[in-house]
Structure formats: structure tokens, C-alpha cells
Structure 1
């Protein structure tokens, strides 16, 4: 079979055959291409459709996850069936780089497509400007992801409006139950009691702030770089009658006013601050705590020492610009050197896979409304990234760790019981 290009150029190999070598062959995946070529069983549960030669041009320009993502976001590639199942069938490509030898092989065969059909990247890609992890650039990066649309996030996250890993008491628990369980786990580890002051950095839509105030009588301040999050979170605080105890501000964590807090929660912030700022970040949080005060750091990590600190190129361009993931050991060391005594650590990566499963289910249930709210391209970005990250957590390509530390009091006093009372056992 000969593949015919839109402008008359030809290639002697069927497109589906070329892609099957790179993507791998799986009983669950069928590949159908615009040139009529097919690889895979007719009854395969998932079909990858290559709709346009532009998809192949994107693969030459950015082999691996970024090229595939660009083609998917622009509908040049489509998936019939469950996207998560498709990604699992070709996980070596979607979660890792294509080996150099394979990239060269692919480029030689697809070069005619690149010459005829190359296009600029989709305009949904983030390109923050300025010094990496400066306040101005961090504000741009956070706005790219979080200031999409509060209504869109309501479709995806559900009533809790919580965009961090939940904690499932069992695999069949609802997302709302799991998010409430997560907040209570954090509160227990921090030993929150009525009258305490809590600082929640990177507070999102204020879920932890509201939980601490409503369930534990804590005076809680949350800060976020997202203006839309801050507005939504403060309005929800007022709606629930928690204004006397809780507050959400549109503020950089580096600009939080000095004060003495009894506890600090950081749920999903450390991924955004950059390795160069990790040490100063933990020192700043330690300085805001009273002696005996606790900090709970909850964030995505790499399971090994990274060759580079940046996230996957698709995630970096479309989802979390400038995100950097570190191994948990790096964070534990930084906390220790900042003056915290580390008291407990646990990996919740399986829980994040379940959380992403449920967010993906919400998105599919509200797909028509979500597309109407943010457009087909952005909705496909979220669908792709949640399915890919779910797979990443399942396969231990990424992890989610909670690390609990304390600022010791006089004579090394930690204030911890011998066993169990801080929710970690």
C-alpha cells in the first residue's frame, strides 16, 4: 500500500505500519490511518485514528508525548473508546521518550509529511516570560492552569472544588468522601484544635481552610496565586458563614505577612516553586511557626533522582508550566535542614490514581457543558492529562507524598505523643 499525502508527495509504507513499530502492538489497540491502512484486530476495545498527515508532521517535530498530544488536542488524532486504555496500551511512548534509534527511524519515514504539513504548535501551549520562578512568571504559570474557568473546574472536581489527591477509605468510596477524608487526615496530622492559627499556602479554592474552620474551629488563612480561585474561595467562605474564622487571599506565598502560626499546610504547592526555591521555601514556613508548630507538605514527587527537573513536555507546555518534581528524599532533606524534625512520611500514589479516575469520570459526564465552557481543545487537554497522570501514578512513574515536620520547642520538645494521636497510624 502507498500512503498518499495531501500535496502529492508519497511514502511507500502504510502509516499504520509505521506507527505500530513506534507505539507497539497490543491486543487492546487498533490503529487506523487516513491512507486506509490498519493494524490491529477489528474487535479491539480501543481504536487510534490518525485523521490527518499533519499528525505525522507533529510526531517528527516532537517525537513522543508532546507530538502525540499536539495531534490529539487539534483533533488530528482521535481515540475511539477509553482514552486511559489507549494510553496504557502505548505507555512506553506516552510516559517516556522514544529511544533515539527509534526516533531516527521514525523521522526518516515521516520526513515527507513534516516537509509538506508542518504547522506551529497549537496556541493553547503556555509560554511564560521572565526569570524562572520569579513572582511575575509564577503568576503567569499559575494563571495559565487555574484561571481557566471556575465553572469548568466545578464540572471536573465536583462539589468539594478540591484539586489535589484525595484519600480513599476504600476503592469504592465517593470522590467527595475521599476529599473530606484527605482534609481530615491533614488536620489530624497537624493536630488542629479550636483557636489555633493555620496558614494554608497554595490553598486552591479554599477547601482545607473551610474544613479547618468548620470542623476544628481553627482560624485559617489561605493564599493562592490564582485570582479566580481566591474570589471563588472567599465567596464560598461567606456563603457557609465562616467569615469570622476563614479567609482566602490572592497572594504569593512569599508575601504572606509575618505572624506566628500554630500549623502550616501546603497541599500541592511545592511542585510549582522550583528546586532553586525549595530551601528558602521551607525556611520561610519554619520561621512562621511557633515552637511546637507543625507543617504538612503534600506534593507530587519523582520516584528517583531525575536526569532533569522539568516535567513531561506535554504537561509542561499544556498543563503545569515551569513545574518541577523532586524525589521525596530531596524534600525531606530540605525540611530537615530548614529546622524541621521530620516525624512522618507516606506515599499516596494509588490514591491519586483513584482521584484522577474520578475527575476523568466527572469530565466525561459533563463533557458537552465543559466543551461549551472552555472549547474543545482545552477540554481535550484536560481529558488527556488526567488519563496520562492516572497511568503515571499506577505505574510508579510519579508519586504523591505527605511529609510531616515539627519546629521543636525548648529542650527538643516535639509535642508528639509516643504513638498514634496525630493521625499517621
Structure 2
């Protein structure tokens, strides 16, 4: 006799689980007092089976075929933590496995429609150019960053800063922590009045404006996002920084000016592609003067053995198409191979977990506004992405490293103090 859908899940989950599954036919399985996951139609099961793991769950949720009781859609951290840390699957016996297969056959599985906010697979994206070519890089950036500036204002807060902040204590406000991050970068770079700063991948121009306001430099920022550039240009006019601060819409590789005293790269390296690191760091070195400094700030893996991102993973398909990560050791190696002298290396992993918690709180508080601006599907993607990333940083699945280096002259002069002055 064919078992129910709920019983099939219980074959996989067992009774000693923290999860309860309730299916569209009224059947259930798992723990009676567990976190309740509801499958609203056979399509939910098709999503789970055709893409086992996080991708299938995300697809079913984004399409409204799966829901979880009590979940805060703007900040589903507690639910994701429960699933990520507390859920343990058991291996069914051959007989139990046969029962599960019989349910799948009876349900009539099909290839379900993908959520409209999902980007195409790696192979289908080849029609948009080679990976990390200029056209495809621009489209990847637009997919993520051109959601609308008002949406980002709700999520990021007044600083409009979409990179890891630096917290004095866990109670430090997000705005104060973002100010502290920019100030730490400025001090690491040794910025002084009259210097010239290049900020590649400048976002909404936060580092550019901070450096000009507080350190008296002249700064140029470059971003591939037109929405970011438009917002940043208006902020520069509003702050009266014209003539000293500039943000361009374009590719950093089109910057022709050279001889900068300092370069900051805050959250760009993730989009470059690991194979392109040599050309990237060579470009940055070529645009620095001798004794100039580079601060590279980016998300990393905790090891150097698995560069890239899973092509079928949630982040690659919904958040950062073509994004790639590797360990900080790989980054340091390439920087040194391209002629930089590395002077300081810092891991801010815990700080990014706190930053993401702040963004999740903002998204939850302004959930209805964010849904109205970006649509329910994209807002749900952001809820999952921020909460899941927070868990990843907390569990040391991903890290955030700042690497400070100099373009040391042929005579061995680094222009760097005997002891750093920013700690």
C-alpha cells in the first residue's frame, strides 16, 4: 500500500527530528512539536526533488508552494539557523526507500517552472558573453544592485553602505559601525590632505565622500551600477563636495588616470573572478605611485582549496551571478606575485555577521515597503540571503578579510611606518 506524503518525509526525517512536514493532502510526518513546514501542492515536492537542498527549498518558497509557520520573511534567521544547525537526516532502509519512491511516482513529479527572479544557469548565460567579460559583468552587477535606490535605503540605512561594518561592541549602531569601517580604511591607507584616492567598485560613494570630508583628499569612485552612480553624484552635490569628489558610472578598467596615492577596493574582488586576480591586482598596482597603498576588502572562504561558488547554489542563482570566492591566502599570494608588499592582514568575520543582522532588522521593519518596491519574490530572496549569510559568517563558513599592501619602490622604500598607526 502506498504511504502518504507525510509518512514519506518521516521515513527520511525519522521521529527524532526537529521538523514537522504537513502536506497538501493533510498528511504529516516528523516531530509533532517540531518546526512546521507546509507543502501546499505537489509542485512543492517537485521543487524539492528536482533540486535537493537549499535551491529546491528556495524555489518552492519563492513560488509560494512552501511555507514555514512563524517565519519572519524579512528576517528568517531563526528558521534558517534551525534548519542549518538542528536538522539531521537519517538514511532510510531499502524498504523505506522503496516506499518513498512509490510516493514520488504516485505524485507525478514534473520539472516545475523556475521563479522569475532566478538567473539562468551558467551555460545559458554564455549567450550573454564569457564569464567576467565586460558585458556579462555589467549585467551581473545590474541584476543585484539596480533593484532601486529606495529599496537599498530601507535595507542599508542612511549610510547607504553595502559592505562589512566595523563594530566597537555588539551594541554599536549600524551607522556608527559603517563610519568606523570607512575611517579604518582611511587610516590604513594613511590618507592626508592633498592626496588622491581611487575607490574601485565604489557603490553609493560612501568611501569617496568620507575620505574627502574627513581627510581632505581628492577622490574618484567607479561603479558598474548606474543606479549607484546617480545616487552618489546627487549625494556629492548635496554635501558640497563637487570638484573634490567624483563618482563615475563605468568599468574600473576604463580609468586612465594614474599615480594615485591610495586605492581602496571594498567589496569588488568577489565579482572579479579568481582567474582574473593577476590582471586585477596588476591594474591596481599600475595606477598607484611608488609608496602608494592598496586596501583590499572582500569576502573570502576559510580555506584556499575550493575557489569559486557552486553554480547551482542559491547565492549564484539568485544573488551574485558569476560571483567567486577563495581564501585570503590566494589573494595575498596573487598580490605579492603582482609586485605588492603586504603589510597588514585582518579578518573581520564576526563584524560581518553583526552587519547582516542589522540589515535583516531593517528589512523586517520595512518589509511591506520593500515588497512594494521590489516585488514579493525579490524581497523574499533578500530575506533568505541576508539571514543565511549571517549564519555563514557566524559558523566560519565564510570570512571577510582586509589586506593592506604598498607599491614598494625598486629601492625598497615602502612609505610605511615602522609600526602601524591605525590599530
Please indicate, yes or no, whether the TM-score normalized by the shorter chain is above 0.5: yes
Counterpart of 1:295 in structure 2 is: 294
Q: Corresponding residue for 2:24?
A: 34
Q: CA deviation at 1:183?
A: 0.4
List structure 1 runs of 4+ shifted beyond 6 angstroms: 98-102
Structure 1: how far apart are the matches of 2:139 and 2:364? Answer: 28
SS in 2 for 1:411: coil
Q: Is the 8 A contact 2:302 2:399 kept in 1?
A: yes
> Is the CA contact 1:53–1:117 (under 8 Å) kept in the aligned structure 2?
no
Alignment counterpart, residue 108 of structure 1, candidates 101, 105, 113: 101
Decide whether the 8 Å contact of 1:26 with 1:89 is kept in 2. no
Question: Does the 8 Å contact 2:295/2:403 carry over to 1?
Answer: yes
CA displacement, residues 235-264 of structure 1 (integer Å, 9 cap, x when unaligned)? 111111111211111111111113210000
In the TM superposition, what is the alpha-carbon distance from 1:119 to its structure 2 partner? 1.3
Cα 1:81/1:189, change in 2 over 3 Å: same
Q: Is the 8 A contact 1:64 1:93 kept in 2?
A: no
Which stretch has the larger CA shift, 47-56 or 337-346? Answer: 47-56
Q: Deviations over 1:161-187 (max 9, x none)?
A: 011111111001111011001000100
Aligned counterpart, 1:55? 44
SS of aligned partner of 1:277: helix
User: Which residue is equivalent to 1:396?
Assistant: 396
Using CA pairs below 8 Å that are at least 6 residues apart, which structure has the higher relative contact order? 2
- Alignment deviations for residues 359-407 of structure 1 (CA, whole Å, 9 cap, x no partner): 0000000000110111100000000011110001111111111000000
2:111 matched to which residue of 1? 118
Match of 1:182 in 2: 181
Asked if 1:412 corresponds to 2:412, the answer is yes
Q: What is the TM-score when the length of structure 1 is the normalising length?
A: 0.89
User: What displacement does 1:51 show?
Assistant: 2.3
Aligned to 1:21: 12
Distance 2:116 2:315 in 1: 15
SS in 2 for 1:276: helix
Tell whether the 8 Å contact from 1:53 to 1:113 is kept in structure 2 after alignment. no
Question: Is 1:384 matched with 2:384?
Answer: yes
C-alpha contact 1:130 1:136 (8 A) present in aligned 2: yes
1:281 maps to 280
Please state whether the residue corresponding to 2:295 is helix, strand or coil: strand
Give the alignment of 1:160-199 within 5 angstroms: 160-199=159-198
In the alignment, which residue of structure 1 is the partner of 2:342? 342
Contact 2:9/2:21 (8 A) holds in 1: no
By how many angstroms is 1:146 displaced?
A: 0.4
What is aligned with 2:366? Answer: 366
Find the counterpart in structure 1 of residue 237 from structure 2.
238
1:57/1:110 contact within 8 Å kept = no
Contact 1:349–1:398 (8 Å) recurs in 2 = yes
Post-superposition Cα deviations, 1:105-155, rounded to whole Å, max 9, x if no partner, equal: 698366337744531211111234211100000001100000111111111
Is 1:69 aligned to residue 58 of structure 2?
yes
State the SS of the aligned residue for 1:412: coil
SS of equivalent to 2:67: strand
1:347–1:148 CA distance, 2 compared to 1 (3 A):
same
Task: Report the Cα offset of residue 20 of structure 1.
Answer: 7.9
Instruction: State the partner residue of 2:209.
Output: 210
From 77, 80, 101, give the equivalent of 1:87: 80
**1-side partners of 2:10 and 2:381: how far apart?**
22
Unaligned segments of structure 1, at least 5 residues:
3-10
In structure 1, the residue matched to 2:267 is 268
Which deviates more, 249-258 or 290-299?
249-258
Cα distance change, pair 101–184 in 1 and its aligned pair in 2 (3 A): farther
SS in structure 1 of the partner of residue 411 of structure 2: helix
Give RMSD over aligned pairs.
2.6
Q: How far 1:275 moved relative to its partner?
A: 1.2
Q: Kindly provide the CA deviation profile for residues 316-375 of structure 1, in whole angstroms up to 9, marking residues without a partner as x.
A: 010000001011110000100111100111111111111111100000000001101111
Q: Secondary structure at the match of 1:247?
A: strand
CA distance in 2 between partners of 1:35 and 1:136 (Å): 47
Say whether the 8 Å CA contact 1:16–1:31 is kept in structure 2: no
The match for 1:324 is 324
